[in-house]
Chains A and B, each alone.
Chain A
Amino acid sequence: MSLLSTKAFSFLKNAVTSPYIRALSVTSKLNIKELREYKEGNKLIIEGVSLPSPRSELLVRAEKIPDLVPTKDSENSLCYLCKLDLDVKHTDVLILSQFVRSDGCMLPRRITGLCRMQQKKVGRMVTMAQKAGLLINLTPSFCKKDPKKRYGYKKFNTYYDEKTIFWKRIPNQNDRFKR
């Protein structure tokens, strides 16, 4: 009861004292690429600017490649990465770094636009590349930025096998000695 009363009180207080907070832009909430923040006098102006994507010119799509033979599956069901039919390894950092944020976190599926399988595959490969220390500049700010300074077994080089991504159960090597 006391909790309810404090909640109601805080709601009323907020409604009375604080200014009404609304969405940043008056026009369409979409089409924002960059949030700009600057001061003009004693006013803080936050502005959402729609910009062209820097990747548009360099974009590779299967439809643009004339030599690529389309696979037998219905084309609509495939995502852009399946259509390209690339053999991506976890060491291909130039491709994997396109799917991560600046802190090295994998982007969600609604942004990458991949199918379920590819999203899982790319996500696992990003994890592999991070653990192998290949994406060391795409890490949170508190990271030491040197794989050799990691703790314990993590400071040594590790490589991964992409076949293990879709294994149901990765066999434990110690099970060989079980009877």
Chain B
Amino acid sequence: MSAAKRVQQWATFARTWHVFDCKWQDPYQSANLIKKYLLGLHKPIYHPMNDCGDVVVCVNSRDIALRGDEWRKRAYFHHTGYPGGASWTLAWEVHNKDPTMIIKKAVYRAMKGNLQRRHTMQRLFIYPGEEIPDDVKQNVTNQIRQLRLVPTRLDHIPEEEVQKFPKVMDYPSDYVLK
């Protein structure tokens, strides 16, 4: 085997480390994206028996965004196994308790349920803030594109840019500015 072919072989079967910024991302939509990288579905050599999944590092999981009223409407179910041991926790309460749990459960649910799923989940790292441990950071070579644009707050836009922006609405002549 030539040197070039050997390197190609390494590059094909090496695990790539991807980073995904969860800021203002819907966890249930981005779980379908993360799942593809975790299972290796984006690779042409994919086969269920082929262990070709990649590693995904999720950062800023504290800043995920849920749609509409889902923070107070989505409930997470848990049962202790004892009679009367059922409990329902709302999404915002879960997120208060552990800011990484919602994205973890979303990715877990997005994958097909077999025993391999537990091992695939070991390749998912979730961090609530921006900080990544150095031994994780030095492996990262790729960034997954975000699904939703991060919105800009009006007070973060400079004042003159707001003034210069083209206007759609004009006040009537008898309007008193407030």
Show the binding face of A for B, using Cβ within 8 Å: 29-35, 50, 53-56, 58-60, 80-81, 84, 86, 91, 93-95, 97-99, 101-103, 110-113, 132-138, 152-153, 156-161, 164, 170, 172-174
Q: Which residues of B contact A161 (CB under 8 A)?
A: 67-68
Q: Which residues of B contact A35 (CB under 8 A)?
A: 176
Measured CA separation A170–B70 after assembly (Å): 12
Measured CA separation A112–B169 after assembly (Å): 7
Asked if A55 contacts B171 (CB within 8 A), the reply is yes
Q: Which residues of A contact B105 (CB under 8 A)?
A: none
User: Can you report 12 residue pairs joining A to B where beta carbons are below 8 Å apart?
Assistant: A54-B163, A55-B171, A58-B165, A59-B170, A94-B165, A110-B172, A111-B171, A113-B172, A132-B151, A136-B155, A153-B92, A160-B68
Measured CA separation A86–B68 after assembly (Å): 23
- Top 8 A-B pairs, shortest CB-CB distance: A153-B92, A157-B65, A91-B151, A137-B155, A30-B174, A153-B71, A55-B167, A93-B154
Asked if B168 contacts A134 (CB within 8 A), the reply is no
B160 CB, nearest partner CB in chain A, Å: 12
Q: Which residues of A contact B92 (CB under 8 A)?
A: 152-153, 156
Asked if A32 contacts B174 (CB within 8 A), the reply is yes
Asked if A93 contacts B152 (CB within 8 A), the reply is yes
Q: Which residue of B lies closest to A93 (CB)?
A: B154
Show the binding face of B for A, using Cβ within 8 Å: 24, 26, 63-68, 70-74, 90-92, 95, 148-149, 151-155, 157, 162-178
Asked if A53 contacts B171 (CB within 8 A), the reply is yes
Q: Which residue of B lies closest to A33 (CB)?
A: B177
Q: Which residues of B contact A53 (CB under 8 A)?
A: 170-171, 173
B129 CB, nearest partner CB in chain A, Å: 13
Asked if B171 contacts A159 (CB within 8 A), the reply is no
- Residue from A32, A93, A134, A174 having most chain B Cβ neighbours under 10 A: A93
Q: Which residues of A contact B64 (CB under 8 A)?
A: 156-157
Query: How would you classify the secondary structure of chain A's contact residues: helix, strand, loop or mixed?
Result: loop
Q: Which residue of A lies closest to B149 (CB)?
A: A91
Q: Which residues of A contact B153 (CB under 8 A)?
A: 93, 133-136
- Residue from B95, B163, B168 having most chain A Cβ neighbours under 10 A: B168
Measured CA separation A80–B172 after assembly (Å): 14
Asked if A81 contacts B168 (CB within 8 A), the reply is yes
Q: Which residue of B lies closest to A135 (CB)?
A: B154
Measured CA separation A161–B69 after assembly (Å): 11
Asked if B24 contacts A98 (CB within 8 A), the reply is no
Q: Which residues of A contact B73 (CB under 8 A)?
A: 172-174
Asked if A60 contacts B168 (CB within 8 A), the reply is yes
Asked if A159 contacts B24 (CB within 8 A), the reply is yes
Q: Which residues of A contact B169 (CB under 8 A)?
A: 55, 98-99, 112-113
Q: Which residue of A lies closest to B161 (CB)?
A: A94
Asked if A101 contacts B175 (CB within 8 A), the reply is no
Asked if A158 contacts B67 (CB within 8 A), the reply is yes
Q: Which residues of B contact A93 (CB under 8 A)?
A: 151-154, 157
Q: Which residues of B contact A50 (CB under 8 A)?
A: 173
Asked if B151 contacts A97 (CB within 8 A), the reply is no
Measured CA separation A32–B104 after assembly (Å): 58
Q: Which residues of B contact A133 (CB under 8 A)?
A: 153
